[in-house]
């Protein structure tokens, strides 16, 4: 009887340690066919525009739930900064000069992903036109404080873009 709790504890700890690797997009060939991309265009009172995008990998419901909450947290924070959904907020060109900033926040992005054994850890990218600085890459979407770092970079980029546009 002594062995059963020890085996159970070992199996449980193994399952818990393996969970993070399973909770992220896989490197499987069919992963791209399963992904669902969601995006929203926002605009503030000064006509500055933001595209916020995320991916749902559909290979782990709990991870997708956390990704959904990160997406909603970013949207809520941008709404507090005065951004709202607006059909006129569409960004036709990232390069054409405009009297407003055009920003993007790509959450759950594979371009900045870190690959590990059997899993991929996506990150986020943030950039604003006219900011005069390169795109910011924030690694490990599931890390504590990730959304705060994304929003901090967004504020920095948008501030520089607004200052550069004047």
H-state helical runs in the chain: 3-22, 31-34, 61-80, 146-164
- Is 112 inside a domain boundary? yes
Q: How many domains, the chain?
A: 1
Mean pLDDT of 71-76: 98
Mean pLDDT of 49-75: 95
d(C-alpha 34, C-alpha 124), whole Å: 20
- Is 140 inside a domain boundary? yes
- Is 144 inside a domain boundary? yes
Categorise residue 54: left if φ over 0, alpha if ψ from -120 to 50, beta otherwise: beta
Domain, as residue range, for 148: 31-164
- Is 10 inside a domain boundary? no
- Is 94 inside a domain boundary? yes
107-133 burial, b at 16+ Cβ within 10 Å, e below that, comes to bbbbebbeeeeebbbbbbbbbbbbbee
Reported as a single tens digit per residue, the pLDDT across 4-41 is 444 333 333 333 333 444 446 666 667 777 889 999 99
CA dist list (Å): 72 to 38, 46, 54, 66, 119: 11, 23, 10, 10, 24
pLDDT at residue 60 is higher than 70: yes
- Is 4 inside a domain boundary? no
Lowest mean per-residue pLDDT among 22-36, 54-68, 128-142: 22-36
Burial class (CB in 10 A: 0-12, 13-18, 19+), 20: middle
d(C-alpha 144, C-alpha 75), whole Å: 18
Q: What is the pLDDT of residue 117?
A: 65
Q: What is the pLDDT of residue 165?
A: 64
- Is 7 inside a domain boundary? no
Number of other residues whose CB lies within 10 A of the CB of residue 11? 10
Reported as a single tens digit per residue, the pLDDT across 145-155 is 999 999 999 99
Q: Considering the entire predicted model, what is its pTM? A: 0.80
- Is 8 inside a domain boundary? no
């Amino acid at each position: 009887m002594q062995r059963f709790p020890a085996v159970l504890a070992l199996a449980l700890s193994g399952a818990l340690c393996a969970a993070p690797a399973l909770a992220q997009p896989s490197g499987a060939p069919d992963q791209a066919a399963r992904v669902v991309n969601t995006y929203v265009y926002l605009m503030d009172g000064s006509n500055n525009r933001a595209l916020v995008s995320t991916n749902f990998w559909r290979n782990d419901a709990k991870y997708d739930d956390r990704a959904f909450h990160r997406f909603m947290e970013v949207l809520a924070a941008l709404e507090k900064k005065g951004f709202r959904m607006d059909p006129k907020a569409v960004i036709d060109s990232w390069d054409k000069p405009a009297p407003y900033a055009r920003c993007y926040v790509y959450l759950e992005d594979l371009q900045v992903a870190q690959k590990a054994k059997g899993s991929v850890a996506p990150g986020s990218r943030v950039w604003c036109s006219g900011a005069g600085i390169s795109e910011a890459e924030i690694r490990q979407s599931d890390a504590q404080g990730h959304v705060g770092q994304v929003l901090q970079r967004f504020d920095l980029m948008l501030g520089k873009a607004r200052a550069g546009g004047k």
